[in-house]
Amino acid sequence: MTTATAWQCMAVGPAAAELVAELQNRCLPEIGAEAWSAEGVRDMLAVSGTVGCLASEAESPAGVALGRQVADEFELLFLGVLAEHRRRGCGAQLLNWQLAQAKNHSAARCYLEVAEGNRGARALYQNAGFQRVGVRLGYYRDSSGLQHDALLLCKTVR
């Protein structure tokens, strides 16, 4: 059950790429995705319309979220919380932070992809009002080479 914690959410840019990539990679085992490089994250955060958010507790980083606005659509590119900080509201707060960005930039809708088997993330997004609008067959490939379907979820932002 989520307990109330005052997560400090802070916008981050390309200068924080190393820390962001490190956090992303520490969240990766569950989603079995390829490792992020600091260079790749730096490039991503340098693209206009991309917003990064770092959540911390007592100045200790706990989670990270990346999103990108293109025209009137916002895409959640990454959301992850370190295992030791989960189920305490950090993921929901990061998601709300990104949705607020989408709203501030007048996005009409927010999209994201989630692995079909990722029950925790699917529950989080469902609670936040996201709905399934499509499926991408074999979208993810895990470290053993197995392919997994992704669900495409959408939430109206305006």
107 binds ligand COA (CB under 6 A): no
153 binds ligand COA (CB under 6 A): no
Q: Whole-number minimum distance, CB 31 to ligand COA, in Å?
A: 5
64 binds ligand COA (CB under 6 A): no
Q: Are 56 and 81 in contact (CB under 8 A)?
A: no
80 binds ligand COA (CB under 6 A): yes
Which of 109, 103, 91, 156 has the alpha carbon at shortest distance from 129? 156
Q: How far is it, in rounded angstroms, from Cα 110 to Cα 103?
A: 9
Q: Per-residue contact track with ligand COA, 4 to 33, x per CB under 6 A?
A: -----------------------x--xx--
Instruction: Provide the angle, in degrees to the nearest 10, between the axes of the packed helices 38-46 and 17-27.
Output: 120
**How big is the site for ligand COA, counted in residues (CB under 6 A)?**
23
Helical spans, DSSP H, in 2-154: 17-27, 38-46, 90-104, 119-127
Closer residue to ligand COA, CB minimum distance, 61 or 89: 89
Stretch that binds ligand COA, among 41-49, 76-84, 101-109, 134-142 (CB under 6 A): 76-84
1 binds ligand COA (CB under 6 A): yes
Three-state SS at 51: strand
Which of 65, 101, 104, 107 has the alpha carbon at shortest distance from 82? 65
Three-state SS at 15: helix
143 binds ligand COA (CB under 6 A): no
Q: Which residues contribute to the site for ligand COA (CB under 6 A)? A: 1-2, 27, 30-31, 79-81, 86-92, 114, 118-121, 123-124, 127
